[in-house]
Structure formats: C-alpha cells, structure tokens
Structure 1
Amino acid sequence: MAQPNIGLLTGQQRSNWIRLRTMILLRWVAIVGQLVALTVAQRMYGLQLELGLCYLAVGVSVIGNLIAIFVFPENKRLTERENLLMVLFDLLQLGFLLFLTGGLNNPFALLMLGPVTISAAVLTTRSTVLVAATAIVIVTLLSEYHLPLRTELGYLLRIPDLFVFGNWIALVIAICFIGLYSRRVTSEIHSMSDALAATQMALSREQKLTDLGGVVAAAAHELGTPLATIKLTSAELIEELSDMPELRDDAALIREQADRCRDILRDMGRAGKDDLHLRQAPLMTVVQEAAEPHEHRGKLVEYTHDPDAGDAIDQPAILRQPEIIHGLRNLVQNAVDFARSTVWIEAHWNDDIITLRIMDDGRGYPPQLLGRIGDPFVRRRKTQTDNQQRPGYEGMGLGLFIAKTLLERSGAELSFANGADPYSSASPEGHHVGAIVEVQWPRSKIDARTGDNALPQGRNEPITS
C-alpha cells in the first residue's frame, strides 16, 4: 500500500507563515530597549555619546515600522526574501549602534545573536548562512573600528585588548553554534510535525476503510424494505400473469432473486455500524488482513505461531483497530520490498503478552542506521540494488515512522534488529538473516475478550425500527 502523499513543507514555505505584524512588534520592543539604554547611559552614567547619530539609527527603525504599518495590510505574510531583508536590516542597524557606542567594549554586543537565531528558526539554510556570515563580518569590524566610549570627564572606557579578542572569539563561536543548534532543533521539529501529519492521514484513511464496513452493513439493513416491496409486487404479478407463461416466469425469477438478496442481507443488516465482527477478530486473522495487499507481489509470505501457545482456535481475539492494521501493513510492506524471496510472520502469546515478529531474507537494515530506525526522514545514499528493488523510492523512513507511531498508540513496543551481519558474505540464504521487527503488546491492551477492552460476544442483535 502506498504511503499517503502529503506536501512536505520546505523552509521557504514555512517562512511565509510569519506575519509582518509579528516582526513589527519585535522591532518595537528592540526600539524601546535601545532608547532606554541610550537614556540610561547618558543621564545616569554621563557617557559622551553621538546622540544625533544614535537617535538617527533608532529613528530609521521607527520610520520603517510606521511605513510597514500604514502601507501593508495587517494580515500580510512575509515572503522568504522579505523576511531576510528585515532580519538583515535589524542586524545592520544594531551593528551601526554598536559602532557608535564602543563596539565590542559594549556588553550589548551580545544582542548580535538575536537576528541569527531568528533567521535559523524561520528562514532557509541559505538565508541563515548569509545572516550568520554578515553578523560575523560586523563583529569582526566592530572589534577594530568603533567610536570610543568616554565619561563625562573625558575618561576613555575600554577593556583590555585580550578581552576584546576574547569577546570576538566568543561571539563568532556563539553565532555559529547557536545558529546551527537553533537550525537543527527547528528542522527536527518541522520534520516531526510533517511526519505526524502523514501518520494522522494514514490513520484517517484506515479508519475510513473500517467505517466503510459498518456503512455497508447499515446500507444492507436499509435495503431490506425495498426488497420486501419487490418480493410482494412480484408475487402479485405471478398471480395476475397466470395466462402468460413467459412473463410469469420472469416475475418468478424476480421473486427468486429477491429472496436470495433477502438471505444475503439477513446477516449483513443486523447490527449496522456496531457490527461485533468488525470490532474484533482472531490475532492471525488481523495479521493476514494487514498483510493481504502484499501477498501477491512475487514474495512468499509465511504465517506461523508458537506451537506451545495452543491450537489456532485458542489464539487470542484482539481489537481490530485501524492503528494496528495499518501499522502492521507498513511493516509487511517494508519486509516484502527488501526480501529476496520470503517473509515470515510469527505470532507468540501467553497470558501476559502478545508478540509478532516480521522477518525477511533480505540484506537487513544498514548497521549505521539501525539505532535511528523509526525516525522520520532518515535518508541514506541509494545503491544500484536499491534502485532495482524499489524504483522511485526515496528512503525517508516515513513508512516505518508511521508504523511505529500507530502501533505505539495501540500500546505496542517495537524493536528492530538484523538476523545476521548484512556485510558478511557467509550468511546462508533462505534463513532468517535479514531485517527483524518485533512488535510486543501487553495482552491487556488489545485483548478483546478480557480486561477493560472486552467486547460483547455472540451474534449481532437485530435492529428494530
């Protein structure tokens, strides 16, 4: 079964989520902070500043905000280019203020990290690199070129050159590290958000398929009345057409087929959408239902169960949940895709746990990715063999992530392993030497006959109208 096709968002698309009003609000906060800092520096500490140029720099930000407020609508979303220009403007404006107020001797030089962090969070990698490079250039220039800070009495305020150099190194490292850290975390959050959206779509799709069975049952119940009318009308026609044998035979055929439809619908229309047989099934029945779409793809799928657990008739009945069916279906699909010839599905159960193992005779999971199996968007370089086995497959790990997420929602724990070293040429073919997935549930989580999940047993009750 193909995975749900969702439009995974790029960084540039996400940057369009930022409203102009948000950036304007942040800039107002920066403007107020800059004015407060200039006022305190002059009035409380008596520092000699180039107030005209300082207020000019702040005034440019004020004018830019006012223009944005009156020219653009309140709900305007910034494009990638517009976001980049606004961040660069704020970075250059802050750099100019620091030039006027002592350069790296000014402790507020730490604020250079702000635009870089914002860029890493909302812009693309290319834009983030450009902003970070610009910040490093500005910091480097400020370490050498700046207007000195002087007190009211004319004393020069500056820290030793060694500390200036230390500040420069610290800022450059912080720009690189915080930018990379913020970018990495943001990308991880976005990837997880996209993957969870795909999982929700997959679950919704499987839920619709499950509900369809109930809809069919309900529809069958509703068809009972028109079929009864057909039967009654055909019976009257048989009596009225006694002197016309050919037409009488046609009416008899209509009645016979109406009786046949009645017999077929008798069992289908008893419980509507609450059909007990749609809500639970024996363990191996659910497993076979999940694997059925992949049984005829040129690979042998074998089903076995623990002989010590009892005969098949003693196997547990489990909840027929969409999460379980779709999750197992994805695991079987992955096994069939990479198996050489055979996939084994083994079931084990006891009074406490239910375990399924899905194994294949393929090459197994890449050892370097084994610890990351189940994470979304795990890419690796494709080999020629991969292209032959799964042409067009991008290998993002989204299918296994969906399976893992859905099955864990049902209470399962998943583990991934290899039956043998995939790089070893000594592994015999035809044995369980490929990938192994073990899915284990506490029996109380999915058992449909005991515990909190117990469902009614027996035949469906007829619907009375």
Structure 2
Amino acid sequence: MLERSSSRPEKEKLPLGHDAAALPAQADGRTELTATSLPAPTDDETNRKNMALLIQLRWTAVVGQIVTIGAAHFGLGIELPLTRMGAVISALVLLNISSLVWVRHRAAITNNELLVALMLDVAALTAQLYLSGGATNPFTSLFLLQVTLGAVLLDARSTWSLVTLTCAAFVWLTLAYRPLDLPHNPLSDTYSLTVVGMLFGFALNAVLLVVFVTRINRNLRDRDAHLAALRQHAAEEDHIVRMGLLASGAAHELGTPLASLSVILNDWRRMPDLAGREELAEDLSEMETSLQRCKSIVTGILVSAGEARGEGSAPTTVAAFLTALVEEWRNARSARTLYFTNTFGEDVAIVSDIALKQVIFNVLDNAYEVSRDWVELLAEREGDQLVLSISDRGPGFAPEMLAQLGKPYQSSKGRAGGGLGLFLVMNVVRKLGGTVTAENHRKRGATVRLVLPLSTLAIGGGFDA
C-alpha cells in the first residue's frame, strides 16, 4: 500500500511542505502517528513538577515529625518543648499551603525558587533539631536528604550554597542546642536510644531518597526526551523547508513548458489531417487529460508551499468533498476498482482543502499500485472526528516498514529519494491535529486509517498560516 514494491511505473508523489514526526511501531503490528501537538515538559514545566514533589516531601516531613515527637514524648517519656516544636510544624503547614497557592498562579518556577524552598526546609529541620538535642540527635542525617535533592534539582552554584548552609547549620547545632532530658530507666539508655534513632533516621533517609529522587529523575527524563523530539522535529522541518523551496522552484519552471504543450495540443486538434483520424483523436484527448493533471499538480505545489489556508479552497460538506474526490481520482487514473462507502451519517459543512485532497490521493495511489483489482475507501464518524479507512488486497507492509513508517526516505522500492510521499502525508495529518495508523490484515492486504478532527476541517480551522 503506502510505499510498497510494485511493477507499476512511479506516480507523482504528494508535493506538500509541512513538518513531520517519526512513527513509533506498536507490538500488535500497527504503526501509529499521534499527530496532536507534543506536550511541553520544558525546564519551566519540569521545575513546576519538582516543586510539587518538594511540597509532597514537606507534607511527609510534617507527618513524620508529628509521629516522631509523639513517640519520643509520650512513648519513651522524653521531655520535649511541644509548644515550640508544634509552632515549627504549624509554620511548615502554612508554608506548604501558601506554596500550593503560589505555584498555581506562577507561570514558571526558577532554579532560585527551588533553592529557596530547600533552604526553608533546612531551616525548619535545624529548628526542630535545636529543640531536641542538636547535633546529638540521630536525625541530623536528614540534612543529607536536602543536599541530595539539591544536587539533583539545582545548578552547581545553588547546590554548593545549599551544602554551605547545611554544614553551617550542623556546626551551629554542635554549639547551641536544647539538651534532651532523658528519663532514667533501662528502656531509655542513651546509647540504645542513639542507635535506634540512627537506624530510623537511616531508613527514613533511604526511603525518601529512593521515592523522591526516582520521581525527580523521571521528570528530568521526560524533559530530555521532549527536547530530543524537538530537535528531531527541527531537523525534519529544515528538511521540509528545503524540499518545499525545490518543489516551488520546479513548479514555477514547469509552468512555461506545460503552457506551451497545451497550446501545441490545441493546434493539433484543429489540424484537418489529425482531426479526421479517430485513433489520433483519442490519443490527443488522453494527452490533454494528462497535461491538465500535470498542471493541477503544479498548481497544488504552489498553493501548498506556505500559503494560508483558504487559497484554492472552497466551502463544501463531507459527503460532497469525498464524492467529488473519488470521482476525480477515478477519472484521472481511469480506474473503476475504487469502492467508496460513506457511513458518516448526518452531513457536516467543511472546507475543501487542496492539501487534504492530495493526502488522500497519495494514499489511494499507493494502494492502487499494489492492488489494481480492489481498493476501498470507507468514511465513518467517531464522535467529532472524520475517519477515512483505505484498504487494499496487496502484500501488506513489511515489519521493517511498519517500524519506520513516517520517516523520510523509508521505501521498499529501492529508489533513491523514495519514501517522501508518506512522510509528507504524515505532516499534513499532523498539522490538522489527526492521527495516521497502518496495519496489515491477517491473510492479505492492509489498511491505512486517517483520523481527522472535524473542528480543523471546518471553515476557520485547518492549517496555521
């Protein structure tokens, strides 16, 4: 079907100039191009996600402090300044609530704002440690959690600033702190409590590091993947721009010889020696039809080369557009083996777009190359989408073609520069916000499915100018 081997001479390919995306292969033998816009996990979006993780970590700290203080004070009988420690926890709660509101109204989160958030967490931890034994408190290991998060989230200068702050806080806690008043009983032996506290501190540190660093790395991987996709799109757009310039220049150059051929054919038709010979008249008629098709293709190139939607387009409906398209394709190729079924339902007003028509022509041409006796075009409606399924009885797609479908120069015909027709089909459908899927049938043949939002086909929708 699309770009598959055939003994039929090569036909004209789609002369369009829009950006494209590569098409991932799926495990069930289908290949799909999701043509909606890429999500944008840029640095700003990644920082927003990471700030949300810091807010979640702060809630975890609030709950952990409440549980730890309750267990130490009421379970182990260690006297703690509950009022002041509760005030620190209340400050963390207020900070988190204000952070949630602040993040919701912020257009972007910067590196410095992440640094400030981590410094506030260090300050809160320092205050709690000051009230509960200072540097002798085994939970001082939680400073390493803040440093690790800073190393993952911040730039180098900000990370070293956080390291300096945590070291200064630790040194200060060795000099100024409120000593713990431990009860004198076997269960409260200082050494035992220290070891148990270190165990809990280590376990808490390890769990929080695994949970939050893993999620932060996932955000960073999403950002890197998106940036890689943007670079790929930029390279493909540059490729399309160069192709568009070449195609536009060729179209202008072809205009003059095509006009000359048209004049010559008209002169031949009026020559008595040729007009009286029926077999020559039929040949002249076929030549004139082919010439008009060439002129139409050249016009399509010029209209599609960066022109705003509306030039060369006209108001119509889904049924009228598809009926006229099928009739034009049949007449241009003298093919009567295209079977058209319209189950779209209630008709909808759209714009007859030249680029979209050329997309459908291209898919039909490739299907016809490998299945001369039967090609089917099925039009359906799924919600607010127009679904066009083009099926054939050809050999189907090779697995390697499915894996690379939609990339330029991916063709099974072994022709240099081949494979651009489908590459450009993907671009047009992607610009319209739709998807393209391709799958093989179980026995023989294949189906290409174009899904197009009706909103972009309506008057006022479509391509960005």
What is the TM-score when the length of structure 2 is the normalising length?
0.39
What is the TM-score when the length of structure 1 is the normalising length?
0.39
Looking at both structures, which has the greater relative contact order when contacts are Cα pairs under 8 Å and sequence separation is at least 6? 2
